[in-house]
Amino acid sequence: MSAPSRDVPLASASVDLPALRRRVTPVLIVSQILGGLGVATGIALAAVLAQQVSGSEALSGLAPTATVAGTAVLSVPLAALMTARGRRPGLVLAYLIGAVGAGVVVLAAVRGNFPLLLLGMAGFGAASSANLQARFAAADLAEPDRRARAISTVVWATTIGAVLGPNIAAPAGRSVSGLGIPAAAGPFVWAAAVFLLSALVVAVLLRPDPLLTARALAPAGEDTKEGRSLRAGVRAVRESPRARLALVTVAVSHTAMVSIMSMTPLALSHHGAGIELIGLVISGHIAGMYAFSPVMGMLSDRLGRLSVIGLAVGLLACAALLAGTAGASHGRTAAGLFLLGLGWSAGLVSGSALLTDSVPGPARAAVQGLSDLTMNASAGIGGVMAGVIVAKAGYGGLNLIGACLLLPLAALAARRALTKREPAVKG
């Protein structure tokens, strides 16, 4: 007889859920810190590196866009892997692909090969997919009325690595100066090592697997293979207006954030900012994204998902106004980027919680993968257009268009608030 798997508790009826949460959550937190460090270290200078390799400002936005596109493309197969075999194999594979992608970026920078650079950035995006999927792993074992807080705790953990990442971009660049590697590619050398460490942490310590455990604890007959399919996930979203609103929320919030953030380093450099100052501004932005996520989770659980979605719209609109009118004022740009991160946090936490509430348990993993595909595909298109818009209409024009993206989301949220009171969260 084969040994029982350590991924699933042996006796579902006697499982100590609080103890399981205490065992799983710290592992997710550590992996988020490491993953956030790796992603933020590389992405801080992605547009600058792309401009150096391609020689074109209009093409500079393709580097962060390739990262977002890679995250989007990989989100569905990674979600399928998690649906079939649990969170741990999917997260480990995502970090490994991210490490390989970072290595390809370094090779492309040395050779001056722009298409190879974009390929590497796409692989690099797998690490972002791991960080995004980890928020749902935190919700697998959470009580329904604490899901937003569980999601926000893991999102918050990214703060430590993500804020530190842009600030070590300059030292990372200097560390490769004697190796024939461009300074702007140095952060990707460090990122590759960090992603490998993240994969090791998850592979060894994320036991029991939270998704497989949640399935083992589900009522008999509720969880079926048919209910877990991508088709079932699409059907679940189609049948739920609240799930559709959740998808729009995370997609619009992410698209507005990525489009504006990716072009901010170039806008700052045009006004005389150096790498260190750019790193500080991006660090403030990332602090807004992650540091206050527990507040967003608490508000989302207590006041309701729709209220925090409305807050997200307001914060993102203020961010576009400040950054778009900043000109040479680096302080105003920094304030705008901070609010941009704060609005993204409100949208991601409330939208993710609303999505999890609004679909049946068996379909959740598939729907969550579909959500990440939607948000990153939308942001990828926004990132492609961002470089072109900045080249034609300037950084202010980009912020104006980003603000306009918020109007459909505001209309949908207002319609849901007026037509039907938000129901209690589901189990």
* Distance between CA atoms of residues 385 and 397, nearest Å: 12
Which pLDDT belongs to residue 344? 96
Q: Average of pLDDT values for 87-101?
A: 96
What is the end-to-end Cα distance of the chain in Å, rounded?
A: 35
Picking from 283, 285, 8, the residue whose alpha carbon sits closest to that of residue 140 is: 8
Residues 24-80 have pLDDT tens digits of 889 999 998 999 899 888 877 787 888 889 888 778 778 877 887 888 888 888 888
Residues 284-305 have pLDDT tens digits of 888 898 889 999 999 999 999 9
> Over 80: is that where the pLDDT of 91 sits?
yes
> Over 70: is that where the pLDDT of 424 sits?
no
Residue 267: which pLDDT band, with cuts at 50, 70 and 90?
confident
| Three-class SS of the chain | CCCCCCCCCCCHHHCCHHHHHHHHHHHHHHHHHHHHHHHHHHHCCHHHHHHHHHCCCCCCCHHHHHHHHHHHHHHHHHHHHHHHHCHHHHHHHHHHHHHHHHHHHHHHHHHCCHHHHHHHHHHHHHHHHHHHHHHHHHHCCCCHHHHHHHHHHHHHHHHHHHHHHHHCHHHHHHHCHHHCCCHHHHHHHHHHHHHHHHHHHHHHHCCCCHHHHHHHHCCCCCCCCHHHCHHHHHHHHHCCHHHHHHHHHHHHHHHHHHHHHHHHHHHHHHCCCCHHHHHHHHHHHHHHHHCCHHHHHHHHHHHCHHHHHHHHHHHHHHHHHHHHCCCCCHHHHHHHHHHHHHHHHHHHHHHHHHHHHHCCHHHHHHHHHHHHHHHHHHHHHHHHHHHHHHHHHHHHHHHHHHHHCHHHHHHHHHHHHHHCCCCCCCC
Which pLDDT belongs to residue 100? 97
Distance of CA 420 to the CA centre of its chain: 30
Q: Average of pLDDT values for 388-396?
A: 90
Which pLDDT belongs to residue 296? 96
Residues 340-381 have pLDDT tens digits of 999 999 999 999 999 988 888 777 878 888 888 888 788 878
Higher pLDDT, 221 or 408: 408
* Distance between CA atoms of residues 210 and 216, nearest Å: 10
Higher pLDDT, 193 or 327: 193
Which pLDDT belongs to residue 225? 61
* Distance between CA atoms of residues 87 and 107, nearest Å: 31
Which pLDDT belongs to residue 6? 55
Residues 176-199 have pLDDT tens digits of 888 888 888 899 999 999 999 999
> Over 60: is that where the pLDDT of 9 sits?
no
> Over 80: is that where the pLDDT of 278 sits?
yes
Q: Average of pLDDT values for 387-403?
A: 91
> Over 80: is that where the pLDDT of 425 sits?
no
> Over 60: is that where the pLDDT of 426 sits?
no
Which pLDDT belongs to residue 222? 58
Q: Average of pLDDT values for 247-275?
A: 88
Q: Average of pLDDT values for 396-404?
A: 93
* Distance between CA atoms of residues 373 and 241, nearest Å: 19
Q: Average of pLDDT values for 142-167?
A: 83
Residues 201-245 have pLDDT tens digits of 999 999 889 988 888 876 655 555 655 667 777 888 988 999 999
User: What is the dihedral sign for C-alpha 157, 158, 162, 163?
Assistant: negative
Which pLDDT belongs to residue 427? 53
pTM of the model as a whole: 0.78
> Over 60: is that where the pLDDT of 11 sits?
no
